[in-house]
Each structure stands twice: as structure tokens, then as C-alpha cells.
Amino acid sequence: MNHNVRAWQIWAIISSQAKFTKRRVVDLGFGHGDLLACAAGVEATVTGIDRDQDLCRAAAERLQVLGGGFIIHDAIEHWVRHPWNEFFQFDIGICTSVLPYLEDDSIILEWMSRCCDVSFLEVQLSGDGPGIMTYSQLKEYLESYFTVAQDVGHTVARKEREYVRTIWKCL
Ligand SMILES: C[S@@+](CC[C@H](N)C(=O)[O-])C[C@H]1O[C@@H](n2cnc3c(N)ncnc32)[C@H](O)[C@@H]1O
């Protein structure tokens, strides 16, 4: 998997929407961990969960240089089911370009809505890789888990054509 070249755009959007310094941040399916690194760089306490062992190893090494963090090698669906996770509370949850890869994303959204004060989500739409929903279907879907799903900006992913990916701020 390549580095997400849009990570800096995502960071510009989400860091203008929430204060990350000294906050507890969790990134579900962090990939190369660029957003974890950005958050750790402003002194957030970061936790990342990803099922790819090599990505976990690389992110853990990267975070060491930035003052540490918690990297968990697990499937998100499995991790959120741990009974002790009920008692975790994060200030900020992040999940970008991951949901359409999951067989059932409901447990993740339900957990984020309960255990994260604010969640930032980016989800591929129909026609963009694994995405299956239109913009309005996705908004309605997110609002079935969160009180508010607000479009706070977008990035542009380029493949054979351009795909706009909205960043949703969910409360
Ligand atoms: C397309 S990448 C997105 C990475 C990152 N969030 C970003 O926006 O650049 C999807 C990531 O989700 C991880 N992933 C997919 N399904 C997962 C699951 N069930 N549990 C944990 N990680 C998962 C993959 O290993 C990969 O790192």
C-alpha cells in the first residue's frame, strides 16, 4: 500500500476543526500512520489500530521518534469488541478510507459514536474503489449513528479519474 498523498490535506481539514494538542486520539485503520504522526507532532496521545503487521511495526518506529503512542495490531471489529474498550473514551476518533473494506462497519460506527467525543470519517463513495453509497446515502447512514454528520471539506483522490472524498465531522 502506498502512502496516502492526501494525508496532509486531511490533516489541514481536521486540525482546523478540532484541537489535537494534549488530546486522546484514536485512528482506526491508520495505514502508514501519517495522521497519527501529525497528531503526535502536536502532542496528542495517539492510539492506532491496524490489522497489517508491517504497517504497525513501521508506525511504532515512527512514533517513537515523536514521543510515543500506542500501536495495536488487530482487526478493528475485534478490537472494539474487547469488554475493556467500553471504558475507553477518546477525544477524537479518525477513520479514513477504511469502512468500505469491512464486512460490517456498524460496530465501528456505534463504538465511535459512544467512545469518541468527535469523529472524523472519510468514506469512498460509489464508483470510488470499494465504495457503495452515494453522498446523500452516506450522510443519512452516518446520521443513523451520530446526531450530526457535517461535511467539513474534501480531498481529491486521483486514480484513472478524480474522486472527491468528503471529510465528515460526526458528533
Ligand atoms: C485504504 S487504507 C487507509 C489508510 C489510512 N486510514 C489512510 O487514510 O491513508 C486501509 C487501511 O485499513 C486497514 N484495515 C482494513 N481493514 C481492517 C480491519 N478490519 N481491521 C484493521 N485494519 C484494517 C488496512 O490494513 C489499511 O491500513
CA dist 104 and 101 (Å) reads: 9
Q: What tens digit of pLDDT does each residue of 107-122 get? A: 999 999 999 999 999 9
C-alpha cell at 130: 470499494
What pLDDT was estimated at residue 3?
Answer: 76
Q: Is 119 in the pocket of ligand 1 (CB under 6 A)?
A: no
CA dist 58 and 9 (Å) reads: 22
Exposed / middle / buried, residue 162 (Cβ in 10 Å: 0-12, 13-18, 19+): exposed
For residue 97, the 8-state DSSP code is S
Which residue, 73, 62, 2, is CA-closest to 38?
Answer: 62
Q: Is 94 in the pocket of ligand 1 (CB under 6 A)?
A: no
* CATH architecture of structural domain 7-170: 3-Layer(aba) Sandwich (3.40)
Q: Is 52 in the pocket of ligand 1 (CB under 6 A)?
A: yes
State which ligand 1 atom lies nearest to the alpha carbon of 75. 20
Q: What tens digit of pLDDT does each residue of 29-65 get? A: 999 999 999 999 999 999 999 999 999 999 999 999 9
Judge whether 71 and 48 are in contact, CB under 8 Å: yes
Q: What tens digit of pLDDT does each residue of 70-107 get? A: 999 999 999 999 888 777 899 999 999 999 999 999 99
For residue 64, the 8-state DSSP code is H
Residue with CA nearest ligand 1 atom 27: 31
Q: Is 155 in the pocket of ligand 1 (CB under 6 A)?
A: no
Best of 30, 99, 101, 165 to mutate for ligand 1, by most ligand atoms within 8 A of CB?
101
Q: Is 96 in the pocket of ligand 1 (CB under 6 A)?
A: yes
